[in-house]
Every structure is written in structure tokens, then in C-alpha cells.
Amino acid sequence: MAAAAGPAGAESRVLGYSLHRWSSFSSTYLPENILVDRPNDQSSRWSSESNYPPQYLILKLERPAIVQSITFGKYEKTHVCNLKKFKVFGGMNEENMTDLLSSGLKNDYNKETFTLKHKIDEQMFPCRFIKIVPLLSWGPSFNFSIWYVELNGIDDPDVVQPCLNWYSKYREQEAIRLCLKHFRQHNYTEAFESLQKKTKIALEHPMLTDLHDKLVLKGDFDACEELIEKAVNDGLFNQYISQQEYKPRWGQIIPKSTKGDGEDSRPGMRGGHQMVIDVQTETVYLFGGWDGTQDLADFWAYSVKENQWTCISRDTEKESGPSARSCHKMCIDIQRRQIYTLGRYLDSSVRNSKSLKSDFYRYDIDTNTWMLLSEDTAADGGPKLVFDHQVSHTHPPTADSQRLKVSFDHSLCDFEVLCQVTEQG
């Protein structure tokens, strides 16, 4: 495998190292065993004397290097001592290390390579020591074992030395910032101003300094709110917000209540109904359902913008539409502004050859009219009468056709039926 190219043409290669320190080892499972990759030798591994923390291995590189990745070799079979969780630290000395990786190995025989953190503010930093800390083995009561470790990175002095110089300066600046923070927290104003003036190092973003001045020193809460609003408008929170997980928040919708034609202007309680939404007009359509005593045939539209229900029809069957039903399904064609409905539930007491026919309807939103597409989809090569199925609409493949996909379950078998409807004229 070709070596990966680093900055300025420098190549990433296998880095030489020695075992510097370790927490413990058991029997003949010496730390030095990880230097050699022998996947077929069960004894070629380091094994800790116990699984009580802290257990670790500290590797010392031959010379400072930009350590970009670490590879773990394994035994040729799954093993209870493999590391399910571990951490990797690195630094120029063993007393001050940076967290480079938190991960775990799969319990198999394949080598695994992990990318290590090797940049701070897009600038690479070198390491001389690498510390591997096992946290959990695949067998919870077993000791930790590491079979083989390979480090890859850049150790070219022409690349590493400038990074080392930058890293030393970076650590010095961070130490000064900590001092500035300490002085300001304890109100050592003269020491704070003197150190900042001498070093010309800013403690933080100017907005944070301004916020500290207005909030802590002056107690001006109105000015603080204005400052936060300005930070929002300037996009200072965008990166943080983009990293947050979305969390759902439910809120009860209470529509406007009006009376009309002597009946309530909103649908009553029901189950087994169907709803679809037109995202372009922000309108929710509701049809049918079961109110506890009978199937329903009413048809409603809810305006999200106006927060109000409108009754389109009290009984769609009287308007050449579908009869009362529940457990049916609907889908909407937003482009053509049409709604399709298929299927319904029939109680066993009312089932006969006529009632078992599967009718198929389409509603045109603009003309407020229903059209019967099929009296019996089974007779037309489509599905038999179904309920609790699924119906979806896909974009038409041609200008004069539409495709609906119906999925349902019957006798523990899955069927997919494509119903193609072609408009004439």
C-alpha cells in the first residue's frame, strides 16, 4: 500500500517506537509482544494483570512525529480479551498529554485503523509519547489484551520542527490565557491589564469581553440582550447550533372555534381516519374514520396558516364520492392537486360479494369533485379489498400518467401492486 502524502509532499509512514512504561502484565504476555504482528499466535500479545483501572501502555516514538493514525492487530479468532472500549492520548511528554481518540474494537480477526487527532486550529502538532488506555474488554470480567499496534504519521524533521515550534508557542499562549482568566475572575485588574498589554494576547473573542464588561462590571442586562441578539444575527452561534441534535417538542393545536349551519365547525373524535397534507398551501385534509358507533364519510380541510377547520363535505357519498369508511388510506399528488383513497375495513357481519368490492376514488381539490376510478380494483388487475395498508404517490414518469404504489400484508406474505392511472383527453 502506498504511503499517504502529508503536507508539502511529506509521506506518512510507519513510525518506530519502543515500550516506555506500562501498568502491569501477566505471565508471559509481555508489553513488547505488541511490536510484532502474529495473528496466529495466541501468546503474542500484551495482557494486563487485572481489569481494574488504570491499565495502560505508554509508547515512546524514536523521534517527535505527527501521529496521524493507529492500527490494532488481532488474534485470528474472536477473543474475550479484545478491547471493546479504549482511549488514546499523546504528547511531547508523558505528564501532559492530549486526548487523541475514544473508540473501540470489533470482536473479530480484522485489523482496525483509527485516525488520531493531530491538529489544533487546523495546525498539526507533534507527539513523542502515545498512551493507550483500555477501558472495557469484550468479556467484562476478563483482563485487557492488545495483540499488535502500528503507528503511522510524519517524522520528517523539516515538517515536524515547524509544528513543534508552533505547538510550543501555542502552549505558552494558552498558559497566558489561563493567567488572564484567573486575574479577571479575582478582579486583579492591574495585573490583568499589565499582562495583556505586555503579551498582546487576547483572552477571548471581543464579543465575550464586551459581554463580561456589560454583565459582570456594569450589570446592564438590556445591553446584554442586545449584544446576544447581535451575535445571533452575525451568525456566531451557527456552528454550535449545527452540531446539536434535533429534539421534538409536542404542542397542542387549538383551532379557532366557530359555528356554522347548526353544526360544529371542526371534526369530532374518531379513529381509523386518514389525513394528508398539501405542503404548498399548508392544508391538511381529513376523511372518514370510526366514531365508536359508525363509519364516517365527512371530509375536512385544516388551514395551518389560519388555524381553522373547514368542512368540505358532510357526506362524500352524496357527492359521488366514497362511502363512509375507516382504516382506508389516502395519498396526495401535490403537483396536480389531487387526492386518492383506497381500501376500507368491513366488519365480518356485513361482508358479502358486493360489499367486498374495492372501490378507488380520486378527489380534485381545485374543482371540489370526486371521480370513481374503479368500482373493483381486483377485477381491474389491482389489489383486493384491503385495510391498514399503505399508499404512496410518485412523480409521473410521463406528462399524462400517474403511478400509485399500494403495499399491504396478507397471510404473512408481502405484496406490492402498481396501479397505473392514465388520464384521457
| Among 155, 175, 201, residue at a domain's last position | 155
Question: Does one domain contain both 18 and 147?
Answer: yes
Kindly state whether residue 79 falls inside one of the protein's structural domains.
Answer: yes
Question: Does one domain contain both 143 and 288?
Answer: no
Kindly state whether residue 112 falls inside one of the protein's structural domains.
Answer: yes
Round to whole Å and give the CA distance between 138 and 397: 52
User: C-alpha grid cell for residue 406?
Assistant: 399500494
CB atoms within 10 A of CB 57: 22
User: C-alpha grid cell for residue 96?
Assistant: 501532559
Question: Does one domain contain both 268 and 414?
Answer: yes
At 351, which CATH number?
A: 2.120.10.80
Kindly state whether residue 200 falls inside one of the protein's structural domains.
Answer: no
Question: Does one domain contain both 271 and 416?
Answer: yes
Kindly state whether residue 176 falls inside one of the protein's structural domains.
Answer: no
Question: Does one domain contain both 146 and 274?
Answer: no
| Among 155, 188, 218, residue at a domain's last position | 155
Question: Does one domain contain both 416 and 267?
Answer: yes
Q: Which domain holds residue 363?
A: 263-422
At 121, which CATH number?
A: 2.60.120.260
Maximum C-alpha span of the chain: 95
| Among 155, 183, 209, residue at a domain's last position | 155
Number of domains the chain contains: 2
Residue ranges of alpha helices (H) inside 213-261 are 221-233, 238-242
- In our burial notation (b when 16+ CB lie closer than 10 A, e otherwise), range 338-356 reads bbbbbbbebeeeeeeeeee
Cα atoms in the 13 Å half-sphere on the side-chain side of 93: 4
Kindly state whether residue 229 falls inside one of the protein's structural domains.
Answer: no
Kindly state whether residue 210 falls inside one of the protein's structural domains.
Answer: no
Kindly state whether residue 180 falls inside one of the protein's structural domains.
Answer: no
Question: Does one domain contain both 289 and 412?
Answer: yes
Kindly state whether residue 133 falls inside one of the protein's structural domains.
Answer: yes
Question: Does one domain contain both 415 and 276?
Answer: yes
pLDDT string in tens for the chain (425-residue length): 444 445 555 789 999 999 999 999 998 999 999 999 999 999 999 999 998 889 999 999 999 999 999 999 999 999 999 999 999 999 999 999 999 999 999 999 999 999 999 999 899 999 999 999 999 999 988 999 999 999 999 999 999 999 999 999 999 999 999 999 999 999 998 999 999 999 999 999 899 999 999 999 899 999 999 999 999 999 999 999 999 998 999 999 988 876 554 457 889 999 999 999 999 999 999 999 999 999 999 999 999 999 999 999 999 999 999 999 999 999 999 989 999 999 999 887 776 666 678 899 999 999 999 999 999 888 888 888 888 888 887 765 554 555 555 554 443 333 343 444 433 33
Q: Helix-strand-coil percent breakdown of the chain, rounded to 5?
A: 20, 35, 45
